[in-house]
Amino acid sequence: MSFELLGMIKKHGNLCLLLPTRLQMKDDSSISVQSMPEATHEGLLALDENISITCAVLEDGTRLLTQTEFVEAIGRRGGVKRPEVYIESRKRNVPIFLSANNLQPFISNEILNIATPMRFKTTNNQIGRGYNARLLPEVCNVYMDAYDGNALVSSQYHIYQRCRLLIRAFATVGIIALVDEATGYQEKRARDALERILAKYLSDHKLKWAKTFPNEFYKEMYRLKKWQFTGNKRPGVVGRYTNDIVYDRLAPGVLQKLEELNPRNEKGNRTSRHHQWLTEDHGVPELKSHLTGVIALMRASNNWTSFQRLLARSFPKLNEQMMLPFNE
């Protein structure tokens, strides 16, 4: 299927809104705008003085980053004239910036599942095209992992450098919080009923156990605490840290409800893991997205104190007072 050339950005007040002609399928005219998911909030996400991306929040809460500016943000040259490439080993289309053979060992199917661009109706009834905001930190981690594994080629180093810059920006404010702030969505989110939030995140029956927390989460925790990593045998305090770092920051009331659904028995043990009570379609993906952000903060920190401060700024608890910045 062919694509039209890049179009233009239209200014609306202080915002820059993406017009569909920046990248639009030539058969878009046959697709009803009304049938597309609709953006309720739009804004400009400023990651630093040189990087900004138009963003949107859809009716169902999905956060999007517009496609062309997403590609520009990671330093990919050539725009999005050819946004996807079919990869035989994957049996699917893959974004051009994830299509190189040397990157494939570092790309999970979970990343590719959120890598398909979405068409949506903008607030001014135009057609926009964007990637799930969760994809940006995932792409950065792919290039950083490939660099750590000595797998990058010289033509990819500039993307790696840009990804390092983006990871540092995420360490200041989490990507979801950035999109919410830029669009004004956090005001609506704060008004949502607690029951509605919990219904999306939590289930009344537990899922079959599956490995959910990557080993890197614990390895980074041990590194920051200056502990010797011992594999699956962990001190009890790790559970308390996990509750604070993860479950107490997913959404308001999630940890408290998990304590009710998954209480300790008379011996002080739990019969299941907290993550087994998360909904498969929303709670588990949000947990994995949160863990990706947390691990990025861990990797950017030199010690436990600096990580705690970055965590408080990037993923604050509801009504938690933000720590003041300091010089490490």
**Do residues 157 and 217 share a domain?**
no
Residue 323 falls within a domain, yes or no? no
Predicted pLDDT of residue 132: 93
Residue 104 falls within a domain, yes or no? yes
**Do residues 100 and 131 share a domain?**
yes
Residue 123 falls within a domain, yes or no? yes
Cα–Cα distance for residue pair 176/2, rounded to 1 Å? 32
List per-residue pLDDT tens for the chain, 328 residues long.
332 222 333 333 333 333 333 333 334 445 566 788 999 889 888 877 778 889 999 988 899 999 988 998 998 865 555 667 777 766 778 888 998 999 999 999 889 889 888 999 998 888 999 999 999 999 999 999 999 999 999 999 999 999 998 888 776 656 677 777 778 777 766 555 456 666 777 777 777 877 788 889 999 999 999 998 877 778 778 888 999 999 888 887 888 888 888 888 877 778 788 888 888 888 888 889 999 999 999 999 999 999 999 998 888 875 443 333 333 3
Cα–Cα distance for residue pair 93/83, rounded to 1 Å? 10
Give me the number of domains the chain comprises: 2
Q: List CB contacts of 217: < 8 A, sequence separation 6 or more.
A: 291, 294, 295, 298
Read off the amino acid at residue 314: S
**Do residues 101 and 156 share a domain?**
yes
CB-CB contact of 79 with 67 (8 Å):
no
Residue 322 falls within a domain, yes or no? no
Boundary (domain end) residue, out of 188, 203, 230: 188
Predicted pLDDT of residue 79: 55
**Do residues 244 and 284 share a domain?**
yes
**Do residues 252 and 167 share a domain?**
no
**Do residues 32 and 177 share a domain?**
yes
Residue 78 falls within a domain, yes or no? yes
Burial of 101 (0-12, 13-18, 19+ CB in 10 A): exposed
Cα–Cα distance for residue pair 180/165, rounded to 1 Å? 21
Residue 325 falls within a domain, yes or no? no
Predicted pLDDT of residue 140: 93
Residue 116 falls within a domain, yes or no? yes
Predicted pLDDT of residue 308: 92
Predicted pLDDT of residue 225: 93
Residue 196 falls within a domain, yes or no? yes
Radius of gyration (C-alpha) of the chain in whole angstroms: 21
Q: C-alpha dihedral over 232, 233, 235, 241, to 10 degrees? A: 0
> Measuring CA to CA, how many Å separate 25 from each of 37, 78, 119?
17, 18, 10
**Do residues 234 and 91 share a domain?**
no
**Do residues 55 and 156 share a domain?**
yes
What is the domain extent for residue 291? 192-314
Q: List CB contacts of 172: < 8 A, sequence separation 6 or more.
A: 310, 313, 314
**Do residues 162 and 302 share a domain?**
no
Angle ∠(274,275,276) on CA atoms, nearest 5: 90
